[in-house]
Structure formats: C-alpha cells, structure tokens
Structure 1
Amino acid sequence: MGENNEELKALHDPYAALRSRDYRLYACGSMAAVLGQQVQAVAVGWELYERTHSTLLLGWVGLVQALPPILLSLPAGQVADRYDRQRVIMVAQTVVALAALGLSLLSALHGAVMLIYGCLLISALARAFSGPANSALLPQLVPPAALANAVTWRSSWFQVGSVIGPALGGLVIAWQKSAAFAYVLTVACAFSFLLFTAALRPQYRPPARAKEAISFRSLVGGLSFIWSNQIILATITLDLFAVLLGGATTLLPVYAKDILHVGPVGLGWLRAAPSVGALAMAIVLAYLPPMRRAGLTLLLAVSGFGVATIVFGLSHNFYLSLAMLALTGVFDNISVVVRSTLLQLLTPDAMRGRVLAVNFVFVSASNEIGGFESGLVAEWFGPILSVVGGGIGTLVVVLAVAWLWPQVRRLGSLSELAG
C-alpha cells in the first residue's frame, strides 16, 4: 500500500491543467467574472440595507436571482449542448454587463428599489445560460488526464475572485460613499470575461455527432441522468440542502452594521473570508494526490461547514467571525471539488451541458433561495437564530444523506472511479 501511495505522488502533476494555454485564458476570464459578481453582491447588499434597513428585502435579492436558474435550467442545458458554448458565454456576459450598467445608473440617481431588482433579474437570466455553457466548455480545454486537476484549479480561480471582489467592493463603497462605481467595476469584469472567452481555441472537442432532436425527452435528459446515478444524486442533494440551510452570506450586511459594527470595509472582509479559506484549501488539494476516501471526506467537510456556521452565528467578535467564515470556505471547497470532479468524470460530453445546467440550479439557486430563507427567518426570529438554526440544519442533512445513500460513505478514490 505504501508503494502505491508513492507511485500516485510521483505520477501526480499539480500543474497539469496550467500547462494548457486555453486553460490559462479560461481561468483569467472566470476569475474576472467572479470578481465582478462579488463586487456587485457587496454593493447591492450594502445599498439595499442602507436604504431600507430590511432583512426581508435582502432575502428578496436571493429569490430574484434564484428564479432564472430554476425556470431556465433545462433550456439552458439544451442550448449548451446544441450551440457553440463560447458564443453562448459571450452573449450572456454582454447582457450581464448591461445589467450592471443599469445598476450603476440607478445607484447614482437613487432610482426605485424595484428597478434594482429588475436589473438583478436580467443579470440572473444571463448567468442562467452562461453558467452551464462555461462549465461544459472546460473538458474541451485540457487533456482528459488533466481534467480532475483542472476542476481543482478552477475552484482556486473562483476563490481568488471571491477574495478580491468583496474586499474591493467594500473599499470602493467606503471611498466613494456610494455603490455606483462598484457596479462599473462589474461592467469591466464582464467584458474582460467576454474577451478572454473569445480568445479560446478548444483543442479537445469530441468527435462531431448528430445532435439529438429537440424533444421533452432530450430536454429532461440531464435530470434523468442525475436521477439514475445515485452517487451524483446524493452529492448534489447534500450540497443543495446544506447551502439552503447553512448559508449566512445574505445576512452579512446585518452582522457588519448592527452586530459586529465594522461598516462597509468590514463587510467586504466578511464576504471575502470564506473565499480566503476556500482558496487556501484549493491550493492544498491541487498539490495533494487524489483523495483515497472521497465520500467520507465529503461528509466530514459538510459537517465542519455546519459547525463553523453555528459558531459564526453566535459570535460577537469580528476576528472570531472572520475565522469561522474562513473555515466555512475551507470545508465548502472540499465539497465543491468532490462534486464537480464527479460530474465532469461521469457525464458524457453529449449531455454535459444539460447535466451541468441541473447542477447549476442546485448550486446557484440553493445559494439564492438559501439567502431568501435566511432573510425571512431573520425577519421573524432575528439574524442570530437564523444563522445558528441553519448550521444545525446542515448537520441534520449530513446524517440523513449518510443514512439514505450508504454508497457515499463507501466512495473511494475519484481517480479509480474514473478508470
């Protein structure tokens, strides 16, 4: 067994994906997109709470952004499988940039709050199509042997943008005393993503094959595939309910202003803290050989996420709160890498867009609906009970998944599964 471990370490190249020119462009574009999205999230959260002092309206931000992925996931997956994925991303990012420009104008002119929600809805509509196409494009940019490494590094680029974005957004708001310029940064980031995507020259396209005729059966193909694969179904379900219950991000403006008393700059750091932890863990995972017991690792990681959420909810100390949020990022990154690698390894390219579109719903919508749930519960019972109760709910979900899907506990090395 020791010799096998040494052999795995010798064969493992932590920079395999980064040797691809297209992957490097893809990483830069993805990081720019995430940075812009995070800047916008900080700006919207701060501006709405500053103007309305309503936790419920903060929750509505999540619901407005969750509806498009839920309603459009099936057609968005079909589009990603039938049309050029690069072009889909480029069109979608143009719409994202225009919506952010609208937010900037509304902020500068103190426009109606309902119009802010309208711009968020338009942006979410575009991202509903961009997300599946972006994920489905990844296997065309690296050799098959480097795919798992590409997924791990992709998480790193996401976290880099998530670290810089919130901190930058908070600093800009504090400097300008307004969120208007923060939205302009989102416009610039969206166009950067568009340009990086346009420069891609995918080398690993699958052999041309006749496209499946548009039908109800093809439309729900992604759902059918996930339902038939119990490992994927279990890991997605675990992530869905853990994020629905355990997310505290929506209430960070409340914690920054009323509980921790740290202002917009502190809010930026609070938003960035989970990504700092996630980035550190992503780099560690890129250097480590493939997990030997991926299923057990996943269950323990989501449990750790729940515990860290509970401690954060109870904390009145800024530095303890930062530490707990960083730990949520550490544990969440492990979950993301395991789930994303499983999806990429086990899904045929011909239906990758549809499967990843369903996953996009689980990931994106669970974050946004979780935000709505947090805002609603906070309105009724207060922010602390909302966050703590969500963390306890996450632990219950882990126990339920481990009991309902025992194959998750038995899941071993992802590299062996791919073979």
Structure 2
Amino acid sequence: MIVPFKTDYKENIKPKVVLVKNKEGIKDENNSMKEKDLYAKSAVLLDADSNRVLYNKNGDQVLPMASTTKIMTCIVVLENSKPDEIVKVSQYASSMPDVQLNIKEGEKYYIKDLLYSLMLESHNDTAVALAEHVGGTVEGFADLMNKKAKEIGCKHTYFITPNGLDKTDKNGTHSTTGIDLARIMSYCIKKSPKSKEFLKITREPNYSFASVDGKRSFTCTNHNAFLRMMDGALSGKTGFTNDAGYCYVGSLRKDKKTFVVALLACGWPNNRTYKWKDTKKLMNYGLSNYDYKKFQDMKLDKKELKPVIVKNGQTKEIDDIATTNVRVIENKKQKKDNKAGILLKKDENVEIRYDIKDEVEAPIEEGDKVGTVEYLVDEKVWKTCSVVAMNGVNKIDFEWCYKKVMRKFLIGNFI
C-alpha cells in the first residue's frame, strides 16, 4: 500500500505510481546467488552508498560476531579521542586472553599506535585498554558502542565487550546480525567523520611503534588477506571464537560501486578459508549483476507535472482560471541524505510516485511546495524531491475586483 503525501492542505491527493523499467538487460538465472552456494550461516551483501541489502541469507539472525566487533571499537575510539592521548594499561586489560599484544600493567601507549594493534593483529588486551581509556570502564565503553549502533540504524545488536570475546550478561548476549554488521562497516568507511582515519589504519600492511617510554617496541602485520585477493578491496576485519565460528566483514570499491560483505558463523576449524570464498563470491555477484543508475536520468512523466489550479487566484481576465506551472527540485534539507542514484540489478525497476495537488488555495508564491516525486525500489523510498510552484499567484481582493470590473465596463461601453 502506498501512503499518500501529507500536506497542510485539506484536499485529498491521489498519488500515482509509474514504473520505470531498467532496459539494460533481462534476468539471468545463471547470475543468481543461492543459499547453498555459501558456507556462512548468515551472509549479507550491502550497497554501502545506499545501505540497501542486495543479498541476504539469514541476515536478521542474531549471532555472536567475535572480533568483527573491533570495527565498532575502532570507530568509537576515533570519534571520542585524539591520536596523541596516552593510554595507561590496567591490570584487567593486561589479563586478556590471546590474541594479545602482551602489554603490561602500568605501561603507557599512544592511542594512534594501539589502534593499529587493534585492527591489524586483533589484540584483545589492546581493545580493553582503549575501551577503559575512552569509556572509563569496559561497561561505559560498551554503552558508547550500543549508542552508536542505534545511531547507525542497527536493530538487533548488543555489545558487551570491546574485543568480541563471547559473553552474556543480564541484558543479553554479545551479538549482532549480518545486516547490522554490514551497516556498521558501511558507516565506518563512508559516513563517519573519521572514515579516512579508519581506512588508513585498516589498510596498512605493517606498522611499528613503541611504548611511550621507548622501552618496548612492536611490529604489527595486517591479517586481512582479502586486501590482496581482489582489485578494489578496501577494508575488513576477521573474527573467531568457539561460539561465533569464523566471521568476516569486508568492503570493496570498484567501478563506482562500493560493497560490504558480512559473514557470521562461516565454518569452524578446519574451515578457515570458507570466509574468503564466500566473500569473493558475494563481491563478484555484486560487481557482475548491479549497475549504478542516477535518479536524474530517469525521465519524469510530463503529464503528471501539469499546471496546478490556484483557487481564488488573480487572473488576467475575470473568467480565467488561475494556475501555476510546476517544477521538480531536490529538497535542500534532505540533499545530504537523499541519494543521487542506486545500484540496480538488470531485471529491477524503479517506481516513481507522483503525489501532487490538483489545486491549491491562493495566495501562492514561487517556490511553494505543492507535492512530491518519490523514487521507490522494493517498495522503499530511496529518493524524494519536491514539486514547487514556478510562478506566484495573488489572492483575489477588492482592488483586483474593482480594476477588472471597471476595465470590463469601460471596454464594453467603448465597443
């Protein structure tokens, strides 16, 4: 069901939907992705530009996510601290199980250095040290993580630990869904004010640093093998725990397309390579089957953009009907959120919904909104534009009536 556009006007609107067909090809069953083709229990392919889910295998199933948690840890630290802040290691942080940097209680490190330890080597002790510094406590930092998850639009994610170790408390289990995890990665690489810093850290092949006092030095190596597997590979994070199995979230940018793949429960030992196979399958599926289409290139129906009647509006002659021509413009307030286009499969169509008043009440000024044009894919609105008046129309008043009557009277007498 299509919900009508709401205005302050009392008159009812009868929205019309027009189907815009993608004429670039027809459906190819050989390019379809079937659940049996993937190892992961939960697998999602996301368009990072629109956050539209392009493929979904159990994408709403709540599952533990292991160290893929650390992408949220990283972005929360980046957004709530400065690189040169000094972290003092607590006894609790130093007690974390493998994988560890083996930092010791009382030692001090710069945040910028520990973030490489966190993301390249996935060190659990580093995650806790960062969390305690930024959040005061691990619990305080988890609150920041959960708040950020809600801001991003995650619906079924609950963080307890900053490192992803399996844990349950009175409120639930440390867990997420494939869709939520993909959204978090999309935020990290696209929308976060610290996305550039995030990408720089997660793409670094190797990184060396020392403690603040210079007594200990370390070298970290990036374990995200996907960065070397496909042209355009952008970022990613692996994970494994006994409960979660092998997990992965990764991104790729190629041919003006940006994809995110999220995999949960993608095998257990000895199935370490399953996550790479699934990731490449989904990325290639996206690259082969989806093309970017600009909304502005989709032709609008001129018949739907006919002049709007202006009731009680001034006209050149008394018996004329006042109207205003209309044009479609992008909403200024929504310009940042509205997408310029969307990735479409060859057999997918865009529906354009016209929700325009048949008539409005005078007075009306140039630029006044008289309706909307919305672009829908999968029954979801992805782009909204305003339909506005091109010319103003004043309301009929005594002065206008007097002038028109006198003109008609004088002309009539002259004839």
TM-score by shorter chain over 0.5: no
Q: Which has the larger radius of gyration?
A: 2
TM-score norm. by structure 2 comes to 0.22
Structure in which a larger fraction of residues adopt helix: 1
Higher relative contact order (CA 8 A, sep 6+): 1
